[in-house]
Structures are given as C-alpha cells and as structure tokens.
Structure 1
Amino acid sequence: MHIEHLSLTNFRNYARLELSLPQQPIVLYGENAQGKTSALEALYYLATSRSPYTTSDRQLIHWRVENDPIPFARLTADVNNRESATQRIEITLLMDKSGPTPRFKKTIKLNSVEKRVMDVVGLLTVVLFLPQDLALVEGSPSERRRFMDTTLTQVNKDYLQALDEYEKVLPQRNALLRRIAEGRSNRKELAFWDEQLAKSGATIIAGRQTFLREL
C-alpha cells in the first residue's frame, strides 16, 4: 500500500499542505510545532475517521478559519493498494454556526462519491504507536478495548458496523433509563433497546475474542 499524495486544507496548524510521498520509507523531522504530528494524525484520521488525540472535531479545524462564515477542514489522500487503481479518500469537516451552538458535519467521499464510514475504513490501513500506548499494558481495560476497536474496525466491516450501532444505542438506552427513573417513560420501552444493545454487543465480544486468540 502506498500513499501517493496527501492534501490538507485548514487541518490543525496547516492552512494548506500538498505533499507527494515516495514509495520508500520516510522519516519526518523538524522543529517543534512545525506539523509533523498533525501530518501523521491526518493519515490516521483518513484511515479510521477518528483522531487518536481528541474526540472533538472542532479541535481539528484551523483556528484562523473559525470566524469564517462556513469554517471547514478537508483531508485528501491518494492511495494505491497495488490491487486496484489509485483511489482518493476525502474527508470534509464542516462547522454549522446557524444554531445556538456549533454543529459539525463529517462528509466522507471515495473517488468523489459520498460514502458511509464503513465503506471507506480499511482502504487505508495504519498502525500508530505513541508513548501513551504503554497504557495498553499499564493502564485501564478501556485502553485495551480502544486499541482492539481501532485495529478491528480497519479489517472487519461487521465489527465496524456493530461498534457504530452500539455507540448510537447506548446513549439512547441510558437516556431512557433516566426518564424511567423520573417517571416519564414506561419500563416496557426498555426491551427494544436492550435487544439492540445485546445484538451489537455480541458481535463486538466475538470480534474481540477472535482478536485475542490470534495474538
């Protein structure tokens, strides 16, 4: 797999970056705050649709454009996996300031055609190792679950879909539990959300068990 070109617009500290990459191994070096980490973060984001450093998309948009009418960031990579023609992965983050609080829309395209996350994740595979990844051994179980999730979503579409569903259902179920406790909802409504959570949760557990057996 070869990333032929990386293009960034308003991403982190890059107002604009156009970078053609050779096939041989690359070493990034430079002074602090020059964008080395941001370039690696961009590649990781294009591969997984998530940042390894933040859960807030707002932090990814260049601070100088936050006051623009429509602030946005765009990341593009041309990827050659040697099995097919070069494919272009593009992610656009758009800040909508029309409401009382800013909202963010993420659009993912493959060869200029809009796609779902699960259609694109896995086309570019990455392995990122950071100093804080020592927490995989020393830290809490949540760190190990995060590592498994990041790895499995790149190679297993069923796991990616189940994890996406689980993360959508869980807050809905928790909100219902609060309404039930306050007497504003019927406990019978819980059965539907329990079933959805159990279904996606079973796929996640099975995927993690397989992952551990194959280590």
Structure 2
Amino acid sequence: MYIEHLSLTNFRNYARLETTFPKIPIVLFGANAQGKTSLLEAIYYLATSRSPYTTSDRQLIHWRMQDDPTPFARLVAEIVSASGVYHQLEITLLLENQRFKKVIRHNGMDKRVMDVVGLLKVVLFLPQDLALVEGSPAERRRFMDTTLAQVDQTYYQALELYERVMPQRNALLRRIAEQQGSIQELDYWDEQLVQAGSVIIAGRQQFLRELEHDAQRA
C-alpha cells in the first residue's frame, strides 16, 4: 500500500499543496518551518482521523482562514493498496456558524470515521515516544490504542464508545454529588463502560502477548 497523490487545502501552514509520491522510500528534508511536519501530520490524520500534536481539530485549519466566513481545511489522498486497488480518501474540516464539522468520504461516498480507519496504515515515531519506556502508563495505552484501532474495527468501535461514555458518567457523578442526579442512572453508563472496557482490555492483552512473542524471537 502506498500514497500515490496527496492534496492539502488550508491545512496547517499549507494554503495549497499538490504532490505525487514515487513508489520508492522517501526522505523529507529541508529548512525549519517549511512544512515537513505538517505533511507528515496530514498523512497521519488521514490514517487515524486524529492529530498526534493537538486534540483540537480546529487548530489544523490554516490561520489565514480565521477571518473567512466559512473556514475549512481539506485533505485528499489517492491510495493504491497492495493488491493494486485504488482508493480516494478525503477529510474536510469545516467551521460553519461556530459549529465544527468533519466530513469523511471514501471514493466519493460519505463515511463514518470507523469505516475508514485502517484503510491507510501508518507507524509514527516521535522523540516523545521514548515515554513509552520512561513515561506513564497512559503513554503506553495511547500507543496501543492507535495501533489497534488501525487493524481492528471492533476495537476502534469499543474505544470510541468508551471515550464517549466516560465523560457522561463523570458528569452524572458530579450531579449526584450535588444532589441533582439519580444514582439509578449509573447502571446504564456502567453497563456501557463494562461492554466497551472488556473489548479494550482483551485487545490490549492480545497485543502484548503478540509483542512479547515477537520480542522473544528477535
């Protein structure tokens, strides 16, 4: 699998970029602030729908678009699979009437995030990834989540559910502490967390078993 063509519009410091990649290993080099990191971030974002540098997708829109009535950014990748099948993956980030929207299309058809994660597989290594060894368990969980979400749609769905349910449950706990919520409502959210959490734990355990097996063979 490889990216044949990449198109960026109003993404980070790129007002416009059209580039075709040769089917050979590529090394990016150049002076600072020329867009090397933004280009790699765009590829990672297309693969995972998340940025490795920010939790706010709004920050991905080119700063010159801030005064535009409808700020937007668009990323398009033309991908060729290992079997020679062509795919076009497009993500549009749109700020309209102070509401942020993400539109994803695969071969011109609207899709959900879970439908396209894993279509383009990436491995990202950053200097801060040394925290996988030296840092907190949260860094290791993040690494496993990013890896597994690209290859296991069931895991991705469980992770998405867990991340959606946890804030809701925490908000309910705060309301209960303020005597404004019902403790009976916890049963529903607990059930959702258990359902998603069991899939996540099983996936991580299997990941670690396979990693241990590969490490022993190395």
Compute the TM-score of the two structures, normalised by the length of structure 1: 0.97
Structure 2 CA distance for aligned equivalents of residues 200 and 110 of structure 1: 27
One-letter code of the match for 1:88? Answer: Q
The aligned counterpart of 2:216 is none
Structure 2 CA distance for aligned equivalents of residues 145 and 107 of structure 1: 27
CA displacement 1:42-77 (0-9 Å, x = unmatched): 000000000011101111000001110100000010
Q: Percent identity?
A: 71
The aligned counterpart of 1:128 is 124
SS in 2 for 1:192: helix
Matched, 1:180 2:176: yes
SS in 1 for 2:196: helix
SS in 2 for 1:214: helix
Alignment map for 1:53-68 (pairs within 5 Å): 53-68=53-68
One-letter code of the match for 2:54? Answer: T
The aligned counterpart of 1:33 is 33
Matched, 1:83 2:83: yes
Matched, 1:145 2:141: yes
The aligned counterpart of 2:204 is 208
1:84 CA drift (Å)? 4.9
The aligned counterpart of 2:70 is 70
RMSD between aligned alpha carbons?
A: 0.8
Runs of 4 or more off by more than 2 Å in structure 1?
82-85
The aligned counterpart of 2:162 is 166
One-letter code of the match for 1:49? Answer: S
The aligned counterpart of 2:50 is 50
Structure 2 CA distance for aligned equivalents of residues 29 and 84 of structure 1: 29
One-letter code of the match for 2:204? Answer: R
Structure 2 CA distance for aligned equivalents of residues 163 and 103 of structure 1: 24
**Count of aligned pairs between the two proteins:** 211
Structure 2 CA distance for aligned equivalents of residues 48 and 200 of structure 1: 19
1:103 CA drift (Å)? 2.9
1:131 CA drift (Å)? 0.6
1:211 CA drift (Å)? 0.3
Structure 2 CA distance for aligned equivalents of residues 22 and 131 of structure 1: 27
One-letter code of the match for 1:24? Answer: I
CA displacement 1:96-119 (0-9 Å, x = unmatched): 2x2xxx331111110010101111
SS in 2 for 1:26: coil
SS in 1 for 2:168: helix
SS in 2 for 1:78: strand
Structure 2 CA distance for aligned equivalents of residues 54 and 124 of structure 1: 20
1:83 CA drift (Å)? 2.2
